Amino acid sequence: MTLRNVRLAIAAALAFGLTAPAAAQWSERPSGFQPRYQREDGGFQPRYQREDGGGFRPRYERGEDRDFGRARRGGDGDFDFYVLALSWSAGFCELGGAQKARRQCAPGAGAGFVVHGLWPQYERGFPENCSAFDRPLPRAALDNVQGLFPDEGLARYEWRKHGTCSGKGPGEYFADVRRAREQVRIPGRFSSMRTDAHVTPMDVLRAFEEANPRLRPGMAAVGCRAGVLQEVRVCFSKDLRDFRPCPEVARKSCRARDIRVPAPL
């Protein structure tokens, strides 16, 4: 190879090499991106998802206790309304809950609808795990949840996952949980059950609407799995003064034609 050809080869290599760092940098994270983080196994990892062909937004995995919307990390108090989830205890126990909550699922416990949680919600999606710090809950706050949640462990979990997104301290958040629960009247037919019942999801919603005159269609949803009633989810305004429409939640209501309501244990 002549000296001239060597020089041309070196120049070409340098010209192509100058683009390599920029290309590698773009593939890692395009210029102008601001990483958002998702909690994974104790740490936070950035995830990106292209939406509507323009720009990238963070993608977060959906919470395991909800089957509507998409979870994303929010700021304190940054949400649109609340969802009060009332779990049908016998259904929860039958669907695997007995291994997690032995006291709640013990024979003779007799629990009906119990508080699962009070969840901040966006019009589309919901925030969760809004604090990166897992601080111990004050004993006074936990004392106030007696008789509200079926067990203290669930109260701790709900505070960490959902309460930290309320913009309030644990005492205020649990007071709001109690306030929301006290505003929902449980239909009498569920309080007097002695044997299993077969109903439609619409039957359950209508029963709650009859027992709560301000609760109208589109303000609540039924959760079911494997043909068994899991819970009823009621939507509240952010100030908890009244029920409110929640199209995304209502759209995800149970679609089964018939569900079984196990009798209280």
Catalytic residue among 51, 64, 94, 116: 116
Q: What is the DSSP string of the chain?
A: --HHHHHHHHHHHHHHHTHHHHHHHHHHS-TT----EEEETTEEEE-EEE-TTSSEEE--PPPTT--SS-EE---TT--SEEEEEEEEHHHHHHTTGGGT-TTTTSTT----EEEEEEEEE-SSSEE----S--PPPPHHHHHTTTTTSSSHHHHHHHHHHTGGGTTS-HHHHHHHHHHHHHHPPPPHHHHT--S-EEE-HHHHHHHHHHHSTT--TTSEEEEEETTEEEEEEEEEETTSSSB---HHHHHTS---S-EEEPPP-
C-alpha 2/C-alpha 185 separation (Å) is: 93
Largest CA distance in the chain: 98
Q: Please, are residues 74 and 120 in contact by the beta-carbon 8 Å criterion?
A: yes
Catalytic-residue membership of 198? no
Catalytic residue among 94, 128, 162, 231: 162
| Beta-ladder partners of 38 | 45
Catalytic residue among 51, 123, 128, 158: 158
Catalytic-residue membership of 162? yes
Catalytic-residue membership of 248? no
Write out the catalytic residue numbers: 116, 158, 162
